[in-house]
Every structure is written in structure tokens, then in C-alpha cells.
């Protein structure tokens, strides 16, 4: 395996790194310019950080994958950690950690995947790259726009494979459908719908209580403000609180937005128009249950529609996309990819030998080649940022938001200051980001 790695970027000196480590993070004397050696074989040694629902998908997949050895798992919840590897081959040999900082000190680990709550995605990914690891980060890759952009810059500075967990980029039928769409199979595309229609149960109101036994709740909170523990801020439901997640826009929505923006060449829109709010739930939810966002391009629009209170699909889809062209339409959904032209329907067949997203990541790591990734962070960043911009526009109730990805700033009539403040966050002392581009 060709490591082709940098273990520390010019902007991050050892002195600054240790200084940062002194306020709650770890001192890492192992990070030097040459510790990351090519392993003696092509077996990639992988670790999983975060072992909840999605995390267990990671442990099952990486734990049984050819050419990959799952060597460590990490979670602040000992109950989750205990379930993480019990059904895997050689489970007794897989190391278990409660603190990701200790895991990253293992020099033999080549790569990590991060399946924690969203507010930990970028900090952990940055620390992992600084420790010489390649990174698979679940969607959304970050909690806020500034983190997204920093993650892209860091991946380039450290020359690391950073795969984003938007798995449709490794779906053969989707790949072929996008290719044909771009080649004009349905004519000029002027509208693409991104659909998120599903029924989610209300979460009620949960009282403050003591964290579960053995849980490092302060570590779980990370950069977020210190607040009392409640079960609604805990497993899965943390998604509906702004301090940790970004609602369904960045949960399921980022998948559909990603397919739409992929079809348009991964370009940012010139304007974002959004509306919505919490119309259905009367509980601890903070994020919207109803949201409609229009991403406007010069002669095309992406329309994202999200409703979390209905079992009724939109145009036959609960989660999916419909691209409308001048000569037909193309649908991306659970039934595959289908072209409709008049009364004729054509199902797109997937090409052979397309690697699923996780094996694709391991192949890229083995070869030390980020160009091999099907869902590189540069692509995932666009869809993630668009979902986050949809939230900003919705929260401010604005009719027009313009984002400049080069200047990393928003223009929003009368609300520039408020909008730009939502591009980032305030980090709790001891949990500041370890890297600055």
C-alpha cells in the first residue's frame, strides 16, 4: 500500500498541536514527519468510531470485508461498545476504546470511519488525518459550513483519502443514470426534485436525568454547550437538536440533494430560497418537520421537499429524485433508475464490477490514491453545504440567500450578519478544532 501521506501540514506545527492538546485533547508525541510506514501487506487495518445504528453497519461491513482487518472500535457508551463486534469473526482480538484519542495513538491503524453524532464528524476527522489516518466520514460530513470547508482543505493538505458516506455515488444504476442524463437522454434538464417524504414518530418531552452509567457525557457533548442529559438528546434523536445535528435536511435530505447536485456537475446554486418550520410536532424537536427549498441555477432548479409527518409519497417516492427534461423524465428511487418518455419506460441497468462505497474506500486507501474514491469529500461537501444553507434560509425565514463558496460568506438582504453567524459555531473550551487552514 502506497501511503503517499503527509502527517502534518505546514499550518499545523508540533508546538501548536501540543498547545491545542493541552486544552482537553491529547498530546501526541507520535506525530512526526515519518511515522506512517507502508504496512507489510495489502491488508488495511481499520477502526470504527461510533457504534450506534450506522456504526454497527460499519463494523459488520468492514469486519467481514476482504482486504480489510477491523482492529478497533470506539464509543463513549459502554452498552453500545459491547454490542459492536460480538457477532464478528475474531471479535476477541478487536480492541475497544471509550476515548477516540487513545485509539488514534495506535500507529498501526491505517484508516478510521466516523459514525458518531454529526457535531463530532469534523473534529474527529481532523484529528485522524493529523494522526496519519485515512477517513471515511458519515453524512453529513460536518455540523456547519465552516467545518465542511475546513475538512476539504485538510484532506488536500494531508493528502488523505476522505470518503463521504453518500452511498448512491457507488450505486451502479445511479452512476449510469447520471452519465446518461448528462449526455442528454431526457433532453435539457430544467428541474430536479429531491424528495424526503416519510412519517417519523414524535419524540415527546424528556426530563433531565443522570447520564447512563459509564458514559462520558462531557466527551459526548464535545464542542456543544454543557446542558443536562435527557434521553431525547441521546441516541438517534440528537439529530433534531441544532447543537448536535441539522434535522432531516442533513440526515436523509443530503442523499437526495447529493444526487441532484451530482447530475448538475457538483456546482453551487446562485440563490437559495427556503421556507418551512415545525408545523406538526409539539415536543422537544428543534429542527423543521416541514421544509421546501429551491436551489436556483442559471437555467435549472433543484427543489427539495421534506415532510416528516406523512406516510404518503410524493410522485411515488418517499426518498428519491425526479429529473425533468425537455424530452422525458428520469426517476431515482427504491425501484432503481427509470426513464419515462411518453408511454415508454426504460429501466437503467447497472454496469458490472461497481464497488460499493465502503470497499471502494478500502481500495483507495490500499493504493494511497484519493482519486479512486467514488464519493470524495470535495463532492460530498457541496451537497452537505447545500443542506446546511437550506437550514440557514429556513431558520431566518428569508426569500433569497446567496452563498459565495470562495469567500465563504453569505449575502442575505437585511440579515447578512445573522446568516454568516450560522456558517459556524462557538466551540466549548477544550473542544476547539485542532486544525486551521
Domain ranges of the chain: 14-168+357-375, 171-205+219-353+384-421
Write down the CATH superfamily of domain 14-168+357-375: NAD(P)-binding Rossmann-like Domain (3.40.50.720)
Of 13-17, 70-74, 352-356, 432-436, the one with minimum mean pLDDT is 13-17
What confidence tens digit (pLDDT) does each residue in 283-327 have?
999 999 999 999 999 999 999 999 999 999 999 999 999 999 999
Q: What pLDDT is recorded for position 42?
A: 87
- H/E stretch holding 346 reads strand 344-347
Is 305 within 8 Å of 292 (Cβ atoms)? Answer: yes
Q: What pLDDT is recorded for position 41?
A: 62
d(CA 383, CA 181): 19
Strands 95-97 and 68-74: parallel
3-state secondary structure of 62: helix
Of 18-22, 167-171, 343-347, 357-361, the one with minimum mean pLDDT is 18-22
d(CA 86, CA 81): 9
Is 332 within 8 Å of 179 (Cβ atoms)? Answer: no
What is the mean pLDDT of the segment spanning 182-205?
A: 98
What confidence tens digit (pLDDT) does each residue in 379-389 have?
999 999 999 99
Question: What b-and-e string marks burial along 58-91, b requiring 16 or more CB atoms within 10 Å of the CB?
Answer: bbbbbbebeebbbbbbbbbbeebbebbbeebeee
Same fold, 14-168+357-375 and 171-205+219-353+384-421: no
Q: What pLDDT is recorded for position 437?
A: 84
Of residues 232, 233, 258, the one with CA closest to residue 244: 233
d(CA 249, CA 389): 10
Whether the pLDDT of residue 233 is over 80: the answer is: yes
Whether the pLDDT of residue 45 is over 80: the answer is: yes
Q: What pLDDT is recorded for position 383?
A: 99
CA torsion sign for 216, 220, 226, 229 is negative
Whether the pLDDT of residue 371 is over 90: the answer is: yes
What is the mean pLDDT of the segment spanning 249-271?
A: 98
Instruction: Please state which of the four CATH numbers 3.30.360.10, 3.30.530.50, 3.20.20.80, 3.30.1370.60 is assigned to the domain occupying 171-205+219-353+384-421.
Output: 3.30.360.10
Whether the pLDDT of residue 331 is over 60: the answer is: yes
Residue with cell 448512491: 168
103 φ, ψ to 5°?
-60, -45
Amino acid at each position: 500500500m502506497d501511503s503517499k501521506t503527509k502527517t502534518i501540514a505546514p499550518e499545523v506545527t508540533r508546538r501548536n498541536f501540543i498547545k491545542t492538546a493541552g486544552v482537553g485533547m491529547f498530546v501526541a508525541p507520535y506525530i512526526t514527519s515519518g511515522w506512517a510506514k507502508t504496512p507489510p501487506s495489502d491488508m488495511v487495518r481499520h477502526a470504527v468510531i461510533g457504534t450506534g445504528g450506522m456504526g454497527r453497519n460499519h463494523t459488520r461491513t468492514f469486519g467481514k470485508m476482504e482486504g480489510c482487518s477491523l482492529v478497533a472500535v470506539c464509543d463513549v457508551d459502554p452498552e453500545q461498545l459491547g454490542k459492536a463486534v460480538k457477532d464478528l469473526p475474531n471479535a476477541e482480538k478487536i480492541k475497544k476504546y471509550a476515548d477516540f484519542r487513545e485509539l488514534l495513538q495506535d500507529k498501526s491503524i491505517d484508516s478510521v470511519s466516523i459514525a458518531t453524532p454529526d457535531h463530532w464528524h469534523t473534529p474527529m476527522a481532523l484529528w485522524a488525518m493529523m494522526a496519519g489516518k485515512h477517513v471515511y466520514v458519515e453524512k453529513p460530513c460536518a455540523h456547519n459550513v465552516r467545518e465542511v470547508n475546513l475538512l476539504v482543505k485538510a484532506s488536500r493538505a494531508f493528502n488523505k483519502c476522505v470518503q463521504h458516506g453518500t452511498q448512491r455515488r457507488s450505486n451502479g444504476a445511479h452512476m449510469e443514470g447520471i452519465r446518461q442524463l448528462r449526455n442528454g437522454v431526457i433532453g435539457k434538464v430544467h428541474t430536479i426534485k429531491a424528495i424526503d417524504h416519510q412519517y417519523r414518530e414524535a419524540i415527546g418531552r424528556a426530563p433531565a436525568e443522570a447520564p447512563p452509567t459509564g458514559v462520558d457525557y462531557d466527551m459526548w457533548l464535545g464542542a456543544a454547550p454543557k446542558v443536562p442529559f435527557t434521553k431525547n438528546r441521546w441516541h438517534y434523536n440528537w439529530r433534531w437538536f441544532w447543537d448536535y445535528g441539522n434535522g432531516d435536511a442533513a440526515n436523509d435530505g443530503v442523499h437526495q440533494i447529493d444526487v441532484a447536485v451530482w447530475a448538475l456537475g457538483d456546482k453551487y446554486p446562485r440563490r437559495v430560497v427556503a421556507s418551512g418550520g415545525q408545523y406538526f410536532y409539539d415536543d422537544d424537536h428543534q429542527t423543521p418537520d416541514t421544509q421546501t427549498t429551491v436551489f436556483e441555477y442559471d437555467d435549472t432548479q433543484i427543489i427539495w421537499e421534506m415532510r416528516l409527518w406523512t406516510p404518503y409519497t410524493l410522485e411515488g417516492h418517499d426518498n428519491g429524485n425526479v429529473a425533468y427534461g425537455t424530452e422525458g423524465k428520469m426517476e431515482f428511487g427504491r425501484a432503481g433508475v427509470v426513464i419515462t418518455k411518453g408511454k415508454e419506460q426504460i429501466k437503467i441497468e447497472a454496469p458490472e464490477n461497481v464497488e460499493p462505497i465502503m470497499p471502494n474506500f478500502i481500495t483507495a486507501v490500499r493504493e494511497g490514491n484519493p482519486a479512486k474514491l467514488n464519493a470524495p469529500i470535495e463532492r460530498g461537501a457541496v451537497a452537505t453545504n447545500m443542506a446546511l444553507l437550506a437550514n440557514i434560509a429556513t431558520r431566518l425565514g428569508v426569500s433569497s440567500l446567496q452563498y459565495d463558496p470562495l469567500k465563504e460568506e453569505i449575502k442575505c438582504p437585511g440579515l447578512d450578519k445573522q446568516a454568516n453567524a450560522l456558517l459556524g459555531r462557538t466551540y466549548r473550551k477544550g473542544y476547539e478544532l485542532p486544525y486551521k487552514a
